Chain A
Amino acid sequence: MVYPTITTITKLELDLDALIASVTLPSTGAAAIFSGIVRAKTERGKAHETSYLEYEAYEPMAEAKMRQVANEIRTRWPLVEGIAIVQRIGRLYPQTPTVMIICTAEHRDTGVFDAARYGIDRLKEIVPIWKKEVSPEGEFWVEGEYIPKSGE
């Protein structure tokens, strides 16, 4: 059985219903979904407001690394069936979904929650996407902390 794996960088609005449908099989009984959303007000750390985020990606490598994240999920949680990893790029305003990770399985006790969590954590480590934050005070690039190893 070949399970569906969707890995996409897109400038278009994310469609959660369509994405769930694309990883729903006759055997599917559970879908764990994570979505990142542009936050207008940040309280944690240095409190500030955000006007919008500007995303860019190194697309061929980003899609290859998303496939790698999906493969890592399959190795760790063999009961996960469908996987979708989709990142929207371009200018995204507060309350807009930016990223969606969906893992489906027959049942909820198959690791789907952990698998979706791993998907977003790993995307933030190795998938070459960046965002610039624009606020009333100015603009700055958000930089991650993870330095991938050769071939990772």
Chain B
Amino acid sequence: MRVKIFFFATVREYVGAKTIELEVPPQTTVAMLKELLVKKYPQMAATQKSIIAAVNSEYAADEILIPTDAEIAFFPPVSGG
């Protein structure tokens, strides 16, 4: 299945893109997608521990399953204000 992924702040700079589309197998979890991305973008490994994931605009822990046509985002802890 196809997913759309957005990157922000440090993660966007490490990856070198704001958004990508990726084909992933069904039953992919957030953790599996992170691993896939670190293989594709080894620079991401540096910040992997503090990378936060959102699936369809909700915070999503590692074990969360990614639904079809999901919009995913990866980013560091937020710093608005």
Contact = CB atoms under 8 A, between A and B. Distances in A.
A36 B52 contact: no
Interface of B: 6, 8-10, 13, 50, 52, 54, 57-61, 64, 73, 75-81
Interface of A: 36, 55-58, 60-62, 64-65, 87, 98-99, 120, 123-132, 141-152
A91 to B, nearest CB: 15
A120 B6 CA distance: 25
B80 A130 contact: yes
Nearest to B9: A130
A61 B54 contact: yes
Nearest to B56: A61
A126 B78 contact: yes
A150 B6 contact: no
B61 A130 contact: no
A148 B80 CA distance: 14
A69 to B, nearest CB: 11
